[in-house]
Amino acid sequence: MSNTVFVLNGPNLNLLGFREPTIYGDDSLDDIARMLARRAEELGLEIDMRQSNHEGHLVDWLHEAHFADAKAVLLNAGAYTHTSVAILDAIKSIKVPVIEVHISDPEMREPFRKLSYVGMGAVDVVKGLGARGYVLALEKAAAL
Ligand code: CA2
């Protein structure tokens, strides 16, 4: 197994730090990447972080994590969390453990965010902790 942790981010998360700070906070995805890089160095891990607005990219990257023998995937699939059977099937088809991450707590929001297809395949979830939830998820990945 490699020491690389894939951090995959779904639709609209490229806007983090620029819009809706009351829900998602002030940190941008680049800020989160810097936090993760610092902690990863302490933990002896490598980070491969990506973002896409396209569902199929997330499916392809989950497969890539498998073929790269990644240690874990931290996955914030954005709104695809609540809709994508394709992403659930991809999670189930790989042997790399996936940790679901959300900045907000979807369960405390609109009813349609209560269902998580990602959660049906993930080994763990970190939600509602803002950007630092990614760091906690990395620590969980390190302990797997
Ligand atoms: O809380 C999370 O991390 C979410 O995955 C964010 C998704 C939402 O659909 C999920 O229910 C929970 C939405 C990401 C949208 O990101 C934006 C960031 C800044 C401004 C607007 C949208």
- Concerning whether 117 is annotated as a catalytic residue, the answer is no
- Concerning whether 102 is annotated as a catalytic residue, the answer is yes
CB 86 within 8 A of CB 59: yes
Q: How confident is the model at residue 19 (pLDDT cuts 50, 70, 90)?
A: confident
Within 13 Å and on the Cβ side, how many CA atoms surround 87? 28
Strands 4-9 and 98-102: unpaired
Q: Say which of 80, 102, 117, 134 is annotated catalytic.
A: 102
Which residue out of 28, 30, 51, 76 has the highest number of ligand 1 atoms within 8 Å of its CB and is therefore the one to mutate?
Answer: 76
pLDDT tens digits, one per residue of 36-49 = 999 999 999 999 99
Q: Tell me the backbone φ, ψ of residue 4, rounded to 5 degrees.
A: -90, 130
Judge whether residue 18 has pLDDT over 90: no
pLDDT tens digits, one per residue of 100-125 = 999 999 999 999 999 999 999 999 99
Q: How far is CA 16 from CA 47, 124, 125, 130, in A?
A: 19, 23, 20, 11
Distance 86 CA to ligand 1 centre (A): 19
CB 133 within 8 A of CB 92: no
Which residue out of 80, 101, 102 has the highest number of ligand 1 atoms within 8 Å of its CB and is therefore the one to mutate?
Answer: 102
